[in-house]
Structure 1
Amino acid sequence: MTANGPFRYTSPAPPKSATGTVADAYAQMRSDFGIDNPATFVVLSDAPTILTAAWALMRESLLVGATSRTEKELVAAGVSLANRCPFCIDAHTVLLHATGDHRLAETVGRDDVPADPYQARLLAWGKDVRTPKPFPAARTPAYLGTALAFHFINRIVSSLVTENMLPGNVQRFRVVRSLAGRTVAGAVRRELSPGDSLALLDDTLVDDVLVAEPSWAAGTPVGTAYAALLTAACAGAGLLSEDDQELVSKTVAAWDGSHPEPTGGWLPDRSERPGARLALLAALAPYRITDEDVAAWRRPEHRDHCLVHLIAYGAITAVARIEGQSV
């Protein structure tokens, strides 16, 4: 296990040393997200095409548009609660504080039901996007895009980042959550221009996604960003044999959306098929990845770049399954 700040198994380069597209992405995050070098994206920096696509999907769905940021944060929080991602639950609690609705923020952080019926329905839908949508169809790119962005981000974070959003786990104190929210309130309330993140995408990804945008967001920046992430993250399949790819695909295709048992036929032995095991854990139970799982797969040729790609492949396989069940 790598003892490197918030990162579990990789050692990302310090953001101040970033150049090119990665540096541009960090600058846009600082401006539009209001957070310097968020660990959720820094951990992807060894795979720039995945970093920029994941950022683009989150920005264009959660941060941009006339739809309520509070409502989209509820969706994101519901996803994070369903995925058992403490880091992301705390982050969305802080971001709900940033919207100014402090009571709602703490309600969601406790996994209680909001008093407002519509807010309660949005939170519940975030927990299971296979259920009927509680919002108008015109909002689908924003709300479903947000949900899918965080199904991916939750899996990356649970796999590769520690649970503590702030040093010393100080976000467990309400006053810290509230104060942290105030520091990003200005960014949360800014009006952003749609599509600005798409310039960060790799040109080859953009060319590929012209025919691969999902029907629920076709012709929108959300659609382009989602398809770019799907293309970039699926590249990690090349780290597995064809048999292992087939195992991952079939297992996720049969997944019912619940949290699987810790043991069972769905999960191969780490000594026999360590790559397939890691990909499946990233897809269905990323919080169960252990030092032993990573060590069993990593060889001298497996750099951090490879681990990020393999985890991203598992994560996007699950995301694609969820997307297919939600429309």
Structure 2
Amino acid sequence: MPTPFRHTTPPAPQSATGRTAEVYAQLAEDFGIERAATFVVLSSAPELLAPTWALMRESLIAGDGSRTGKELAALGVSAANRCPFCVDAHTMLLHATGDHALAETVARGGTPADEGHARVLAWGKATRAPGAPELTPLPFPREHAPAYIGTALSFHFINRIVSALLTENLLPGNIQRFRAVRSLGGRSLSRTVRRRAVPGASLALLDDPGTGPGPQWATGTPVGPAYAALRAAATAGAGLLDEDDQALVRETLRAWDGSHPSLAWLALPDRERRPGARLALLAALAPYRITDEDVAAWRTPAHTDHCLVHLVAYGAFAAVDRIESALPLLHHADNHAHSPARTAEETS
């Protein structure tokens, strides 16, 4: 039978033990989707699976602020990254919040009628471009910044993993493209989505919560250590590249303006001469363009699925790091109070 997985064959979820089984148990409880492909695809590298789940859980699910607003932020990010799998998933999750008309407006590519919702969606889209002027004023209260920013950065990472290692079909035959299926799927998740999750429960799953409290914008919240743990796990993939290839990835990301590379991407390394750097840069900037040939050129008998997941994660987080470093964060958050537009918090 066809599977949603590309380039890797993850372990069967029913065979999971230890920390991986614990992540799956929390997924079922707090996300409402058992064995979600988005996370199963990372199970070849459990040290990446746990912090990816932790960051998403502590920001989108358990973080402060309305779930509707954070789903809109995740949708905006996913649209900007051209990740149809995640766009469809979060449209369905908007249905789960009870905002059915809003979900269908977004599904049609429309602008939400509510100005606060429209601002959050636009902010999510703008986060792809480092330092974009549309990122200020922030469309949410200062105290909700860790959850919203964590949600956005979580999906900049997840979108890239999904686009690189999964097909774009959320459901068989893309049946989620039908309104009735989206609505029914959302309703089946509504009880879980509307239940308040206890913050911090995922931190016990992390390898080393002592990686630090995380960035300043997340100080004092579980989002901080979850972000720090994912950063540590993802950047470990740099060891799969030599120093020259690592330098190329850093230099390319430093100059990146958020655009999608053209088909004539002349700076993309040659597949045969620098396959690792090519894969990492594709994962960072255009993961949907990774081909079987790109993977085959890099893989050797020593390169397992564990290695490939780590290399893709390294490239994906290189983009996250660039985006995070250029975000106007808490020192701009007070500006939202002076805007006449209502926030998503005030309208949800």
- Superposition TM-score, scaled by structure 1 size: 0.96
Cα RMSD (Å) of the superposition? 1.0
Which residue number in structure 2 is paired with residue 14 of structure 1? 12
Instruction: Read off the aligned partner of 1:112 and give its amino acid letter.
Output: G
Letter in structure 1 aligned against 2:193: V
Q: Is the 8 A contact 2:96 2:193 kept in 1?
A: yes
Contact kept in structure 2, 1:46 and 1:305, CA below 8 Å: yes
| Per-residue Cα deviation, 1:277-326 (whole angstroms, up to 9, x for no partner) | 00000000011111111111111111000000000000000000000111
CA contact (8 A) 2:211 2:225 kept: no
Q: Distance in 2 between matches of 1:298 and 1:45?
A: 19
Secondary structure in structure 1 of the residue aligned to 2:301: coil
Aligned to 2:52: 54
User: 1:194 aligned to 2:227?
Assistant: no
Looking at structure 1, the residues matched to 264 and 145 of structure 2 have their Cα atoms a distance apart, in angstroms, of 36
Question: Identity over aligned residues, as a percent?
Answer: 67
Is this contact kept in 2: 1:4–1:11, CA < 8 A?
no
Aligned to 2:298: 297
For residue 254 of structure 1, what is the amino acid of its counterpart?
A
Q: Within 5 A, what are the aligned runs for 1:1-327?
A: 5-129=3-127, 130=131, 131-132=135-136, 133-203=138-208, 206-210=209-213, 213-327=214-328
Question: How far 1:266 sits from its partner (Å)?
Answer: 2.6
Going from structure 1 to structure 2, the CA distance change for 1:172 and 1:114 (only over 3 Å counts) comes to same
Q: How far did residue 113 of structure 1 move? A: 0.5
Is the CA contact 1:209–1:231 (under 8 Å) kept in the aligned structure 2?
A: no
* Structure 1 counterpart of 2:334: none
Between 1:126-135 and 1:40-49, the stretch displaced more is 126-135
Q: What is the rounded CA distance, in whole Å, between the counterparts of 2:108 and 2:85 in structure 1?
A: 14
Structure 1 CA distance, aligned partners of 2:252 and 2:14? 40
For 2:199 and 2:247, locate their aligned partners in 1 and report how far apart those are by CA, in whole Å.
37
Asked whether the equivalents of residues 234 and 316 of structure 1 are also in contact (C-alpha less than 8 Å), the reply is: yes
Q: How many residues align?
A: 321
2:198 aligned counterpart, secondary structure:
coil
* TM-score when normalising by structure 2: 0.91
- 2:226 maps to a residue whose letter is A
Contact preservation (8 Å) 1:233, 1:316: yes
Consecutive aligned runs of 4 or more in structure 1 exceeding 4 Å deviation: none
The CA deviation at 1:66 is 4.2
Task: Rate the CA distance shift 1:83–1:92 in 2: closer, same or farther, 3 A.
Answer: same
Are the aligned partners of 1:81 and 1:111 in contact in 2 as well (CA < 8 Å)? no
